[in-house]
Amino acid sequence: MKITSARVIVTSPGRNFVTLKVETDEGVSGIGDATLNGRELAVASYLTDHVIPSLIGRDPRMSEDIWHYLYRGAYWRRGPVTMSAIAAVDTALWDIKAKLADLPLYQLLGGKSRDRVLIYGHANGADLEATVDAVGKYIDMGYKAIRAQSGVPGIEKAYGIGRGDMYYEPADARLPTETVWDTPAYLNFVPKLFEKLRDTYGFEPQLLHDVHHRLTPNEAAQLGKSLEPYRLFWMEDCTPAENQEAFRHVRRHTTTPLAVGEVFNTIWDCKQLIEEQLIDYIRATVVHAGGITHLRRIADLAALYQVRTGSHGATDLSPVCMGAALHFDTWVPNFGIQEYMRHTDETDAVFPHDYRFEDGHLIVGETPGHGVTIDEALAAKYPYDPASLPIARLRDGTLWHW
Ligand code: EZ4
Ligand code: CO
């Protein structure tokens, strides 16, 4: 069996997605997500110019060897562009393998470890009251776990505040939007938000919060401590993770659970945080961390230390990634939670899929493969629309972490 062709499909049904389609001489094809928000064409070029020519003629069933060929064989290892491209190939090959076996993908990984996948949704509002209302709407929709992000008095554009309630998309302009960041205002406000949320809704809903890398380790320790009475499911990305030792300080000072890793690409990015048990949840995901083949290695390492998975699942990860992730989540023994931001109707129409939302969970279908396809004719109607993620500056102009 041989790979006969592969091509990259770039489409923008409301936001940009990059998809790799791999075809074989036996008529079976597979697709993988290669979307890297704000850097889509870099991955598309990496695939088209460097990866696809080396795939033609290979046996698609040799997904392990192909993974190592693309990782080790490139000499230049790691990085988001390379690893997203490898992930797209890997996801497409697992899709093909599962279709050949006539089984839903989770069966190839080891079968079901659970019937349904706990997900969390994003509630956000311009101020405290609006955010409390938004959380209530998610509770009414059946969500068991909800991330709350709110506008902060004194900060004009806080991370996570969308234009509408449901479809938050941070990449909002051709060149990065400039936002202003104010740590003291934020640290004063966030505990008030969660106090109000617990007063209003009690302790049954799981509540999460994303700090989005904005704090120093000591500020993160302070915030974690001040949120302890509200028993968060997790505090996410409380400080940048390039220096993983920084998390020792946070860990020593708070029992608020910590989640990190949406920007991680390989097991090497996760290694110290996991081995030193500095986090509770690892957020690496299929598309940005080398596909199912590599994410499985990360999850197995995490399992040794009782670290659970909590994969990134914002709207810039396409339904193809979400489908593959849900098969992974259905199998992975040390599953924690899956992030799920609903895609728009336009996006869902371009990527027909068989996973479904029910009672705060997602359930994978039984279609052979990962269960997500692409309507190429419809995709062609939405040309690429360049957009960048914002940046943040402190009040004095210093460039900060967005
Ligand atoms: O900012 O995916 O937890 N979710 C997030 C996301 C990220 C975007 C970046 O492209 O932090 O909203
Ligand atoms: Co995040």
Last residue of a domain, one of 82, 104, 126: 104
- For residue range 258-274, list pLDDT tens digits in order: 999 999 999 999 999 99
Ligand 1 atom nearest to 212, measured from its CA: 11
**Residue ID of nearest Cα to ligand 1 atom 7:** 314
Q: Looking at the domain assignment, is residue 25 inside a domain?
A: yes
Name the average pLDDT for the chain: 97
Ligand nearest to the Cα of 38, by number: 1
Instruction: Tell me, yes or no, whether 340 and 250 share the same domain.
Output: yes
Q: Give the H/E segment covering residue 6.
A: strand 3-11
The CATH number assigned to the domain holding 162 equals 3.20.20.120
**What proportion of the chain, given as a percentage, has pLDDT over 90?**
96
Q: Looking at the domain assignment, is residue 375 inside a domain?
A: no
Instruction: Tell me, yes or no, whether 48 and 135 share the same domain.
Output: no
Ligand nearest to the Cα of 337, by number: 1
**What proportion of the chain, given as a percentage, has pLDDT over 70?**
99
Last residue of a domain, one of 104, 136, 168: 104
Is 212 annotated as catalytic? yes
Set 159, 168, 281, 340: catalytic member: 159
Last residue of a domain, one of 43, 73, 104: 104
Residue 75 structural domain: 3-104
Q: How many helices (H) and strands (E) are present in the chain, helices listed first?
A: 14, 16
C-alpha 146 – ligand 1 centre gap (Å): 15
Grade residue 360 by pLDDT with cuts at 50, 70 and 90. Answer: very high
Q: Kindly tell me if the per-residue pLDDT of 119 is higher than 70.
A: yes
Burial group, residue 339, by CB count within 10 angstroms (0-12, 13-18, 19+): buried
Please give all residues whose beta carbon lies within 6 A of any atom in ligand 1, as ranges: 37, 170, 210, 212, 262, 312, 314, 316, 339, 389
- For residue range 254-313, list pLDDT tens digits in order: 999 999 999 999 999 999 999 999 999 999 999 999 999 999 999 999 999 999 999 999
Residue 162: per-residue pLDDT: 75
**Residue ID of nearest Cα to ligand 1 atom 12:** 314
Place of tokens 């919060």: 209
Set 209, 212, 213, 361: catalytic member: 212
Residue 165: per-residue pLDDT: 59
Q: Kindly tell me if the per-residue pLDDT of 167 is higher than 80.
A: no
**Residue ID of nearest Cα to ligand 1 atom 10:** 37
- CA–CA distance, 234 with 207 (Å, rounded to integer): 8
Q: Give the H/E segment covering residue 81.
A: helix 80-101
